[in-house]
Structure 1
Amino acid sequence: MSRFRSLLRTTIDATKKALTWNVDDLMPPSERYIFNFNSKEEVKRWHLYSDSEYGGLSTASLEIDDTEREPRGIFSGNLSMDVTEDSKWRINRSGFCGMRSKRFDGFIDLDSYDTIALKLKGDGRCYISTIPLERYLPTWRGNVIDAKMEMNPSRIVGMSLSVNAGGGFAGAKSGPGDFKLEMDWIKALRAQ
């Protein structure tokens, strides 16, 4: 009889939970943290990549600087245009580094938001990430994959930031050398 009561209690609790309305489900808050670079645990949510995976010599790191009053993430390294001579890969371009979030548990739903905001402090280089959600494009290694492909904002599986030695807007620092990007947070915002 106790198994039946336990099963009945579990069923009733699940039904109550399903019928309970959460105001956030009806109208999500106007902003939502996606990443907050304030702890060493946050670093574990990211994967670093660079041309070194293909024979390039660029390096990257992601650490939390907790020496300031407010901790922040530091994405830094060195961009190199050189390629190792014994590389098995035949790459024709080097000089890039990036950080890609590990897959979310399933996905995150950003359908209620129209903008991604990042609180960053750069070093004069051009870092790649598209901001208005309606203009986000799928990319791989800093290149657009297929501009005709449409992104579904209700099923976001990951995000990335990247930097390369050979690009950017007029006046931006470019070429090989050190880079450093200080990051406080990444949020989804609803401007309307």
Structure 2
Amino acid sequence: MSRFRALWQASLNATKKALTWNVEDLIPPSERYIFNFNSKEELKKWHLYSDSEYGGLSSASLEIADAGNGLSGIFSGNLSLDVTAGSKWNISRSGFCGMRSKKFDGFIDLDPYDTIALKLKGDGQMLHIYYLYRELAKIPLARYLPTWRGNVIDAELEMNPSRVVGMSLSVNAEGGVPGARSGPGDFQLEIDWIKALRTQQLQSSLFFIAA
């Protein structure tokens, strides 16, 4: 019996020690890179779209360049309100471009995080970002709204942070948030990276084995 008790105690001690060693591993890091625009390989994770797919004349490009602060992704182009003559698409207006990530391998789980952060430099043309200098933009996940071509739409949709399948950035010649510069013409956005942040304390429960 004493041998059995000794084995049981050894097993219990090993379990306690394992829990002590790995408890930090159970808590996700406070920040997580989602995209890091520091190589041409990174660009393969994105594709461009614009009103040109529907008869518009806007254009966009995405490339890696040294913007004076290391390598950055340069999303740039021209917004046009014009429409191709004789287009088969019956569109009332044009003037939008965007970059959309290709679908993740299934999805990514951002449930442990509450904020999306972007290190970037804009020209004031971005719909959701109004920065003229390289800044850190933080957008709480709770404030994300359903949009279409950069404009908020009236729809009963709720974001599920545990099953994020992709991300996108867009510019629009009309509409957007109040105070943002709008209108046709050239635009440029320099973006270094996109991260998920946990700015609030993570609520979790830990179970302990009593001796």
What TM-score does the superposition give when structure 1 sets the normalisation length? 0.82
Identity of aligned residues (%): 79
Q: Secondary structure at the match of 2:56?
A: coil
Q: Distance in 2 between matches of 1:40 and 1:189?
A: 25
User: Which position in structure 2 is the counterpart of 1:14?
Assistant: none
Q: 2:192 aligns with which of 160, 167, 184?
A: 184
Aligned-residue CA RMSD in angstroms? Answer: 2.3
User: Which position in structure 2 is the counterpart of 1:164?
Assistant: 172
User: Which position in structure 1 is the counterpart of 2:159?
Assistant: 151
User: Which position in structure 2 is the counterpart of 1:106?
Assistant: 106
Q: Secondary structure at the match of 2:142?
A: helix
Q: Is the 8 A contact 2:127 2:177 kept in 1?
A: no
Cα deviation digits, residues 22-52 of structure 1 (max 9, x gap): 6576211100010100000111101100000
Shift of 1:139: 2.9
Q: Secondary structure at the match of 2:139?
A: coil
Q: Distance in 1 between matches of 2:105 and 2:56?
A: 32
Q: Secondary structure at the match of 1:150?
A: coil
Change in CA separation of 1:180 and 1:30 when aligned onto 2, cut-off 3 Å? same
Give the 5 Å matches for 1:16-165.
Answer: 26-66=26-66, 68=68, 70-128=70-128, 131-145=139-153, 147-165=155-173
Structure 2: runs of 5+ lacking an equivalent: 1-18, 130-137, 201-211
Change in CA separation of 1:146 and 1:174 when aligned onto 2, cut-off 3 Å? closer
Q: Is the 8 A contact 1:125 1:168 kept in 2?
A: no
What TM-score does the superposition give when structure 2 sets the normalisation length? 0.75
Q: Secondary structure at the match of 2:42?
A: helix
Shift of 1:135: 2.2
Q: Distance in 2 between matches of 1:24 and 1:41?
A: 32
Deviating runs (4+, > 4 A) in structure 1?
A: 20-25
Structure 1: runs of 5+ lacking an equivalent: 1-19
Q: Distance in 1 between matches of 2:122 and 2:161?
A: 27
